[in-house]
């Protein structure tokens, strides 16, 4: 047997120690993962039992219970929290998620668009094991909600069976007609015209000026989503230039809603607060940075721009002109934590605890309904 030199002995010893350390770490990792999995499984069982839900087929899924009222107007905190939970699980932790619609009783178009956009992003940016693996979900127990989701194009947009075999027994006369959700990754200048033609022909007759104002508002909203929203990287991976469109018309009430959404950095982050605005913030709230709501309000002021170039900063005027042209209308801008409401009668600013992770513009326009004279019998 060959006699080893001192150097060779030392080298062998080093190799043996490294191997031993690797084995020890592997065993520790395994034990840790096993313990974590067991804890996760216990939580999952207690979660599904507490909410009377079925266990997901894949037990590694993060269960997310959607609130009874999925709305950014009436149940902001719970709605945004559920969507953020999905975003965190899939995009940050690369963990599949299970969306439970079981208890959802009411849905609002803006909140539904925010949710479907997040599902769309999660499925497209984390296509491990096939696009459809990362986010699974249940169908709502309440039939009305399921049919509304179907009408909104929720299932079609993310490639899920829309259950067309289910009969729709709802009264058709008095209900909203949804504009199916659409997703684009470039500017589509003809879309506003096609949409205003459809609204004009099917439900709400509009004058040429009203149609132009609507087209201008939608165009500026989509161009802003492409030009400013994705200018910088955010906390979450993004689908550059991606924006979403949704809404509804209600012929009987002569009412329409149009929504444009992006998942960019948000207006408050894309705009620098001026010195005077910081002073106002310091005096009123004791913080140097104005709130997100205040920043949205500042962004809507004429000539306020993040580019610093002459001639910029007039897009929000176009968006407000659509409201000004209507008999009764409102523009609601949600961006990160802030909310800004614009009506002919004035404006209002609010702030929330959690961010929606992008910008959502919503126009709600009502036309005066003509009162028909009814002759006495």
Partner 1 sequence: MLKLGVARDFSPDPGPRKASQGQHSGEAFRRLLMRKLAASDLVEVDLDGTSGFGSSWLDEVFGGLIRDEGMSAAEVRRRVRVKSIADETYLFIIEEAINLARPRDAAAPVAA
Footprint of partner 1 on 294-313 (CB under 8 A): 302-303, 308-313
67 alpha-carbon distance from chain centroid: 15
CB nearer to partner 1: pick between 187 and 251:
187
Rounded Cα distance, 33 and 216, in Å = 55
Rounded Cα distance, 97 and 65, in Å = 10
In whole angstroms, the minimum distance from the beta carbon of 331 to partner 1 comes to 15
Task: Give pairs for 306-312: CB < 8 Å, separation 24+.
Answer: 306/228, 306/231, 306/270, 306/271, 306/272
Q: Are 341 and 348 in contact (CB under 8 A)?
A: yes
Q: Are 150 and 139 in contact (CB under 8 A)?
A: no
Helices 109-125 and 76-87, axial angle in degrees (round to 10): 10
| Count of residues engaged in binding partner 1, rule: CB under 8 A | 33
Q: Are 288 and 281 in contact (CB under 8 A)?
A: yes
Footprint of partner 1 on 232-291 (CB under 8 A): none
The 206-235 site mask, x for binding partner 1 (CB under 8 A), equals: --xx-xxxxxx--xx--x--xx--------
Q: Are 363 and 341 in contact (CB under 8 A)?
A: no
State in Å, rounded, how far the first CA of the chain is from the last one.
122
Footprint of partner 1 on 86-145 (CB under 8 A): none
Judged by CB under 8 A, which of 186, 276, 370, 377 binds partner 1?
Answer: 186
CB nearer to partner 1: pick between 92 and 209:
209
In whole angstroms, the minimum distance from the beta carbon of 310 to partner 1 comes to 4
CB nearer to partner 1: pick between 145 and 225:
225
In whole angstroms, the minimum distance from the beta carbon of 184 to partner 1 comes to 10
Beta bridge partners, 62, equal 97
Site membership for partner 1, residue 182 (CB under 8 A): no
Q: Which stretch binds partner 1 (CB under 8 A): 85-93, 135-143, 190-198, 368-376?
A: 190-198
Judged by CB under 8 A, which of 69, 78, 187, 239 binds partner 1?
Answer: 187
Rounded Cα distance, 307 and 310, in Å = 9
The 312-351 site mask, x for binding partner 1 (CB under 8 A), equals: xxxx-xx---------------------------------
- Where do contacts with partner 1 occur on this chain (CB under 8 A)? 186-190, 192-193, 196, 208-209, 211-216, 219-220, 223, 226-227, 302-303, 308-315, 317-318
């Amino acid at each position: 047997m060959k006699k080893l030199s001192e150097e060779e002995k030392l080298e062998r010893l080093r190799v043996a120690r490294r191997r031993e350390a690797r084995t020890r770490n592997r065993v520790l990792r395994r034990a840790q993962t096993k313990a974590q999995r067991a804890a996760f499984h216990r939580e999952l069982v207690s979660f599904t039992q507490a909410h009377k839900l079925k266990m997901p087929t894949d037990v590694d899924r993060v269960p997310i219970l959607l609130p009874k009222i999925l709305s950014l107007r009436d149940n902001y905190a719970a709605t945004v929290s559920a969507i953020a939970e999905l975003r965190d699980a899939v995009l940050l932790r690369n963990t599949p998620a299970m969306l439970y619609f079981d208890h959802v009783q009411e849905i609002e178009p803006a909140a539904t668009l925010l949710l479907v956009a997040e599902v769309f992003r999660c499925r497209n940016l984390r296509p491990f094991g096939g696009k459809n693996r990362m986010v699974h979900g249940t169908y709502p127990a309440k039939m009305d909600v399921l049919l509304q989701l179907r009408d909104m194009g929720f299932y079609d947009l993310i490639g899920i069976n829309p259950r067309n075999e289910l009969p729709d027994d709802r009264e058709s006369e008095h209900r909203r007609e949804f504009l199916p959700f659409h997703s684009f990754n470039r500017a589509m200048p003809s879309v506003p015209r096609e949409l205003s033609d459809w609204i004009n022909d099917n439900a709400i007759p509009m004058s040429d000026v009203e149609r132009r104002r609507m087209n201008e508002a939608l165009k500026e909203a989509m161009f802003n989503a492409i030009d400013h929203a994705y200018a910088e990287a955010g906390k979450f991976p993004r689908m550059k230039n991606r924006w979403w469109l949704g809404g509804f018309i209600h012929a009987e009430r002569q009412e329409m809603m149009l929504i444009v959404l992006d998942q960019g950095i948000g207006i408050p982050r894309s705009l620098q607060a001026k010195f005077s605005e910081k002073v106002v913030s310091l005096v009123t709230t004791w913080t140097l940075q104005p709130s997100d709501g205040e920043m949205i309000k500042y962004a809507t002021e004429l000539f306020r721009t993040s580019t610093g170039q002459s001639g910029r900063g007039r897009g929000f005027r176009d968006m407000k002109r659509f409201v000004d042209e209507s008999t009764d209308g409102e523009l609601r801008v949600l961006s990160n934590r802030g909310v800004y409401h614009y009506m002919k009668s004035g404006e209002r600013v609010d702030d929330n605890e959690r961010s929606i992770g992008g910008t959502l513009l919503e126009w709600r326009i009502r036309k005066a309904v003509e009162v028909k004279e009814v002759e006495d019998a």
